[in-house]
Chain A
């Protein structure tokens, strides 16, 4: 047999989605509830006392940040878990002994995790419509952006899953790095609201560019230019692919 093992990709993809289906209720209910809570707290309680940000109602302003935050978390969690679990249970022996290339493995695992992440993002988007009037200036760009974000963060999660040697390590990066960076990355405010030097410091946070870019697809403007945002997404994709390429070449933490 030679050529592309598309059947393996499909098998892994289905297996992973089946795993998600087992926890379907919590998996889908959690984002809906979380979103609703954010709207009650930020949109209702605090937002009612706030003026508009860049001419956008506060409750609407936070939607892109909210979607991004959930998608970051979901992507990292699902993709890292997807590859960490076979390592943990030992079932990875089968993947390693199968005629499956590195590229096929990544497409399957990252594809499955990205699918779930996109579903969650879409649910939050739809739930948000229950609370606010939400215009979308560039619908196609919005979908494209969600797709790119899902893929890059799933790649990142995949790296994390290969790197992690314990459940604690699996949690530490999302909780201690990604979560704070997202909060400080303008998920719930415009960085223009910050005073110097914080505004300049914030510009070193790559998350700022991602959230700003996604916000642009809704409102036609963001904290930074859309070109810069796209550059950061592309940069993240390339970086993750390079790391994964190196991991597979060296067998890092997968193959002795």
Chain B
């Protein structure tokens, strides 16, 4: 598959703190221009550390990063100009007005004043009516929008969203997803971290899984789900069973719904999924069934199994 141009190249990135804690243990990653990349991992996995290094808030211990062709240390002006960052915590100047803080951000990034553009951002984020409000008067969701507006104020090519929907209610989360989708239409590359799998599943083109400072895997989301996805087959029985017949031991089926259903987990990638042989066996045993359904496992299941494997290894 032809790869698109990389906009961010991370190579051999490490970070150790004075305490000896290794937050990143040699991460390599390419982000393609225009994609939505979800960095997934449990709390403390190194997601925020990695973003903070790329954006300039934390110093790397080793390795290098280039952003839009600019080394983040030697040519930090070039790399930082290309990036808009929305951190996880709501850090705002409580007493400032919305429009002032967004205008300030644009100036901080060295861009000439452009009232029309600021107005457009604020309108897109439904903040225009609140532009003269002090930030402390806004709700949490609105504050997060202000932070996004600040990050977009200097027309970045890349937008980092660190846990954009952490602690946000369901409705706002949907809004946020819609917004991110719209941003992508404008050609902005989006990197988001999350520990909500649902979020990555909903939006991302590619998913990277990070755990204990190591990037365990990077994959197209659909390929990932196909590759690692397990399916479950639920057989709704005509008559409930008291126990799993020993003849079915080979399939390791589980009895569900008070013996009314049996569930069989199978790997879609396996040469023989075992589905037809199981159904034949049920027929041989004279176990009748009324319905069948299969279900694709979610990213969450994939993720849990990945992290689990990692721990076992």
A residues with a Cβ closer than 8 A to B are 1-2, 5, 7-8, 10-12, 14-15, 18-19, 22, 89-91, 93-101, 251, 255-256
Contacts and interface: CB of A to CB of B under 8 A. Distances in A.
A100 B85 contact: no
A21 to B, nearest CB: 11
Contacts of B308: none
A93 B91 contact: yes
B107 A99 contact: no
A98 B57 contact: no
B57 A93 contact: yes
B141 interface: no
11 contacts: A2-B77, A2-B78, A7-B110, A7-B111, A7-B112, A14-B107, A91-B91, A98-B80, A99-B110, A100-B108, A256-B57
B95 A22 contact: yes
B55 interface: yes
Contacts, number: 82
A1 B78 contact: yes
Contacts of B87: 90, 93
Q: Which of A1, A11, A94 has the most CB of B within 10 A?
A: A94
B91 A1 contact: no
A135 to B, nearest CB: 43
Interface in B45-79: 52, 55-59, 76-78
Interface in B90-111: 91-96, 100, 104-111
Contacts of B104: 11, 14-15
Contacts of A99: 76-78, 80-81, 109-110
A7 to B, nearest CB: 5
A94 B59 contact: no
Interface in B260-282: none
A251 B59 contact: yes
